[in-house]
Amino acid sequence: MKPDLFEAPDYYNLDELLTDEHKLIRDSAREWVKKSISPIIEDYAQKAKFPEHIINELADIGAFGPYIPEKYGGPGLDHISYGLLMQEIERGDSGIRSTASVQSSLVMYPIWKYGSEEQKMKFLPKLATGELMGCFGLTEPDHGSNPGGMTTNFKDKGDHFLLNGAKLWISNAPFADIAIVWAKNEEGRIHGLIVERNMEGFTTPETHNKWSLRASSTGELIFNDVKVPKENLLPNKSGLGAPLGCLDSARYGIAWGAIGAAMDCYDTALRYSKERVQFGKPIGGFQLQQKKLAEMITEITKAQLLAWRLGTLKNGEKATSAQISMAKRNNVEMAMKIAREARQILGGMGITGDYSIMRHMMNLESVVTYEGTHDIHLLITGLDITGLNAFK
């Protein structure tokens, strides 16, 4: 892959809206991506391997549970900081951002929000340092967009629960030490359970043959009469709203992350358009290429404003689930369109691994599907503005 010459676009001087602390966190993550991700990511993606050696470094830049309070080992940052971290990491690769999102929003968040004090003290500090890695099992083979139909279940056996079922498409599953698993009790009520790697009857086969998110490790979670100690049930929230609450936090991170992927594609295409000469002049001098680039920077700027405003709402605990859905949906689609257009500006070179664009383009096919598909988020907005539920 070519040297990483990334320069972040900031057309509306949005840096002025950030505090010194935000900029420090953002800039150190940006430097880390240049130093530790850009030189290796193409190779790992080609080999379809997750670079496990970066886990400690992700912890060092504060990417695991950025908003978790210091009492539990987190850095206690605000939501703009969390967003900026996701943006910078996804500028490197969506799969690496996935690992950070899952650890933060889908593993640490439910333990922090729904766990007992003992569970928080036992797991959160080790998750913050990467000593423990986690995954989140909601999706099942027959229940993706409709997780409320899940069939994974647990029965009360007196001194423990007995867990049976299967989860599919689980990021980090093949190497995770713990899994936050959503399952129904005998009354059909959804609860979260902390399932640990060494529990008998629990296996995590890896999912192969992905053309997208190749540097992220994806797998299944299979539960065959797994004995889960009762103290591993998350006691403070149940029902579908519990996992969906975690998704709000992860979707928020994706709304920022997608901007990172888009910025990288735009920056690469802009630089290439000024260097590549055809018909005696740089291709960036042709109106058709300028139209593409001008529309890209316009869409990136709009997405940045949306994410920043959502971050301020989130900091004030005022962001609604529907507002988060809108930002996830808009910003991922924006990034997909920019990746496709940027790829064309590079002509044939755009399909090679010498540049990051094709990898971003393929990754975004997962990002538009997971954490609620593009269509599901549209229906969430539709429900919010009409009051009419298209799901039922």
Residue 95: helix, strand or coil by DSSP? helix
148 binds, among ligand TGC, ligand FAD, none (CB under 5 to 8 A by kind): ligand TGC
17 binds, among ligand FAD, ligand TGC, none (CB under 5 to 8 A by kind): none
CB of 343 to ligand FAD, least distance (A): 21
375 binds, among ligand TGC, ligand FAD, none (CB under 5 to 8 A by kind): ligand FAD
Phi-psi sector, 212: left (phi>0), alpha (psi -120 to 50), beta: beta
User: Who's near 275: CB < 8 A, 6+ residues apart?
Assistant: 282
By CB under 6 A, the residues from 95 to 134 that bind ligand TGC are: 98, 101-102
246 binds, among ligand TGC, ligand FAD, none (CB under 5 to 8 A by kind): none
- Report the C-alpha gap between 66 and 85 in whole angstroms: 9
Active site residue 206: no
Per CB under 6 A, the list member of 76, 125, 147, 201 interacting with ligand TGC is 147
Binding mask 219-248 for ligand TGC (x = CB under 6 A): --------------------xxx--xx-xx
The total number of residues shown for the chain amounts to: 392
- Report the C-alpha gap between 308 and 379 in whole angstroms: 23
Residue 291 burial (C-beta neighbours within 10 Å; 0-12, 13-18, 19+):
exposed
76 binds, among ligand FAD, ligand TGC, none (CB under 5 to 8 A by kind): none
Q: Which of 101, 125, 110 has its CA nearest to residue 193?
A: 110
* Residue closer to ligand TGC (CB basis): 210 or 337: 210
Q: Find the Cα–Cα–Cα–Cα dihedral 205, 161, 65, 216, rounded to 10°.
A: 10
Given 90, 140, 299, 371, the catalytic residue: 371
Q: Can you point out the beta strands (E) in 198-310?
A: 202-203, 218-229, 277-278, 281-282
- Chain contacts with ligand FAD (rule: CB under 6 A): 102, 135-139, 144-145, 169-171, 213, 218, 366, 369-370, 373, 375-376, 379, 391
Binding of residue 338 to ligand TGC (CB under 6 A) = no
User: Who's near 375: CB < 8 A, 6+ residues apart?
Assistant: none
Enzyme catalytic residues? 371
Residues that bind ligand TGC (CB under 6 A): 98, 101-102, 136, 138-139, 145, 147-148, 171, 239-241, 244-245, 247-248, 250, 321, 370-372, 376, 380, 391
